[in-house]
């Protein structure tokens, strides 16, 4: 149902901002849907954190408990709507995520998820690569001339040797050096000490082939890293410091856009100006509910996106139900059940789609640091999994220092930027690269418009990649 407590206003041609007021008094008088009331819980927590910045790094339970301790009658009435643990778990569920530890989840994560879903800050814009990121990088490099680089996509890495030996001892030493209260020294700077890195890497693949390189940048999910020969010691650290989750995406398409959910539900799709709208559905997971986040992917397509917490510590969720139904009963039954649930909230019948595709991640797909502050430091050591003297680098959005970047490509890009200065030194290049500062982006654009270019930086990146294997 439409929200009674906030509206979305157009700021310019492509950005939106939701206007939310303190409506706890209205809730006390019976106004608002359950979703509205979830949003108001976030509102009172956010307002408290604005007054007490020290709470920003606390968990959700600490913040909402203090917010609900207010003597304001409206706040008291709002909090009374969520007895027991409901005020910890409801906001996460209302954002379309299942079985994340609400009480122990960081305040920033709970607030961030909800604000993302409701566009409370600015409109959500979707950028889609038509080719894989590694192929995209290779294409960019070819623009600058022929180079001897071949990213290893489509191959399963099973081991890495350094000078012909397994680097287990290097992994163990790097783990022992971790200080959870401080980042790894020089992880994002071009220290001269890194220029002492020597050795030849041998990357071994499941098909029996191997590649020798001076450096390597690994990009697999963090829970997959210890499966690579030489990185086994990292398993215990990753298990202890990260919380895994599961996810599944079901994309469905219609020949006629007039038959698709965007038209039937009156919602804007991610195509066009890039502003995405989605519906958040919920139902009894223990009775087979499948649909949580329903994205209007394009005029003729939708994507059902389900994310849930640690699959080893929970009962049924929409994500596990969808994976189970698709695996055990097939796509036809999965699509029929999904469409029946979508139709249960549609004002007019939506016909069956023409086609459907599913992509499941049963475990370890999206991770979060169990302790955000410590995790941001641990990540800097994980970026150099074999230590500062071995030219192996690692980056994946699920292991980014900032938890809010997990699951988003920005996390992977930031880890690349963290590694680039040290990587330059490892390859013996004279160029002293500094980490790219997003704050200076406008200055870069202005210089380019004035006639200068970033060719110098691109030349260095091209030289780096000529000596780099990306896996």
Give the distance between the most distant pair of CA atoms in the chain.
73
Q: Which domain holds residue 399?
A: 148-242+367-470
Query: What pLDDT does residue 35 have?
Result: 78
Query: What pLDDT does residue 150 have?
Result: 56
136 domain residue, yes or no: no
pLDDT digit string, tens, across residues 347-359: 999 999 999 999 9
108 in the same domain as 166:
no
279 domain residue, yes or no: yes
96 in the same domain as 52:
yes
pLDDT digit string, tens, across residues 206-245: 999 998 888 888 988 898 999 999 999 999 999 899 887 8
43 domain residue, yes or no: yes
Q: Residues of the chain with pLDDT > 70: what percent?
A: 71
428 in the same domain as 388:
yes
285 in the same domain as 189:
no
228 in the same domain as 285:
no
Last residue of one domain, picked from the residues 361, 390, 413: 361
406-428: b or e for each residue (b if 16 or more CB lie within 10 Å)? bbbeebbbbbbbbbbbbbbbbbe
235 in the same domain as 249:
no
* Residue 165 pLDDT > 90: yes
Last residue of one domain, picked from the residues 301, 334, 361: 361
Number of domains the chain contains: 3
352 in the same domain as 208:
no
251 in the same domain as 237:
no
101 in the same domain as 15:
yes
324 in the same domain as 373:
no
Last residue of one domain, picked from the residues 302, 335, 361: 361
43 in the same domain as 80:
yes
133 domain residue, yes or no: no
Q: Where are the alpha helices (DSSP H) in 96-162?
A: 107-117, 133-143
Query: What pLDDT does residue 194 have?
Result: 45
Range in 101-110, 128-137, 167-176 with the lowest mean pLDDT: 128-137
Q: How far is CA 177 from CA 100, 170, 171, 227, 382, in A?
A: 31, 11, 10, 21, 11
* Cα gap 90→68, rounded to integer Å: 15
* Cα gap 178→379, rounded to integer Å: 10
101 in the same domain as 53:
yes
């Amino acid at each position: 149902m439409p929200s009674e407590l906030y509206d979305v206003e157009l700021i310019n041609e492509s950005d939106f901002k939701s206007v939310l007021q303190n409506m706890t008094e209205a809730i006390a008088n019976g106004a608002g849907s359950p979703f509205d009331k979830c949003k108001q819980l976030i509102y009172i927590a956010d307002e408290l954190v604005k007054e007490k910045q020290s709470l920003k790094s606390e968990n959700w339970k600490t913040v909402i408990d203090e917010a609900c301790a207010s003597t304001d009658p409206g706040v008291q009435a709002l909090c009374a709507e969520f007895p027991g643990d409901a005020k910890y778990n409801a906001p996460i569920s209302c954002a379309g995520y299942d079985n994340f530890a609400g009480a122990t989840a960081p305040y920033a994560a709970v607030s961030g998820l909800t604000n993302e879903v409701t566009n409370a800050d600015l409109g959500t814009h979707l950028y889609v690569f038509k080719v894989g990121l590694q192929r995209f990088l290779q294409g960019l490099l070819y623009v600058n001339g022929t180079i001897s680089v071949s990213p290893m996509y489509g191959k399963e890495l099973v081991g890495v040797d350094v000078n012909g030996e397994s680097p287990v001892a290097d992994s163990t030493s790097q783990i022992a050096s971790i200080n959870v209260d401080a980042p790894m020294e020089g992880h994002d700077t071009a220290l001269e000490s890194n220029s002492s890195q020597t050795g030849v890497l041998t990357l071994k693949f499941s098909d029996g082939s191997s590649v020798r390189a001076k450096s390597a940048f690994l990009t697999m999910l963090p829970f997959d890293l210890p499966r690579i020969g030489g990185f086994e010691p990292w398993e215990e650290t990753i298990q202890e410091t990260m919380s895994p989750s599961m996810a599944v995406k079901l994309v469905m398409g219609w020949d006629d856009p007039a038959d698709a959910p965007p038209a039937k539900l009156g919602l804007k799709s991610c195509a066009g100006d890039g502003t995405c709208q989605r519906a958040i559905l919920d139902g009894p997971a223990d009775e087979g509910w499948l649909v949580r986040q329903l994205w209007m992917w394009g005029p003729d397509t939708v994507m059902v996106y389900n994310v849930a917490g640690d699959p080893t510590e929970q009962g049924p969720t929409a994500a596990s139900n969808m994976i189970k139904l698709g695996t055990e009963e097939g796509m036809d039954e999965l699509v029929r059940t999904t469409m029946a649930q979508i139709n249960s909230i549609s004002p007019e019948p939506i016909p069956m789609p023409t086609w459907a595709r599913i992509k499941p991640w049963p475990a370890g797909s999206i991770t979060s640091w169990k302790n955000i502050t410590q995790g941001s430091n641990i990540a800097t050591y994980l970026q150099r999994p074999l230590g500062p003297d071995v030219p192996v680098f690692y980056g994946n959005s699920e292991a980014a220092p900032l938890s809010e970047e997990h699951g988003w490509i920005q996390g992977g890009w930031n880890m690349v930027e963290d590694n680039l200065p040290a990587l330059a030194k490892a390859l013996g290049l004279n160029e002293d690269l500094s980490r790219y500062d997003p704050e200076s982006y406008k200055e870069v654009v202005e210089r380019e418009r004035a006639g200068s270019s970033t060719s110098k930086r691109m030349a260095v990146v091209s030289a780096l990649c000529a000596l780099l294997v990306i896996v």
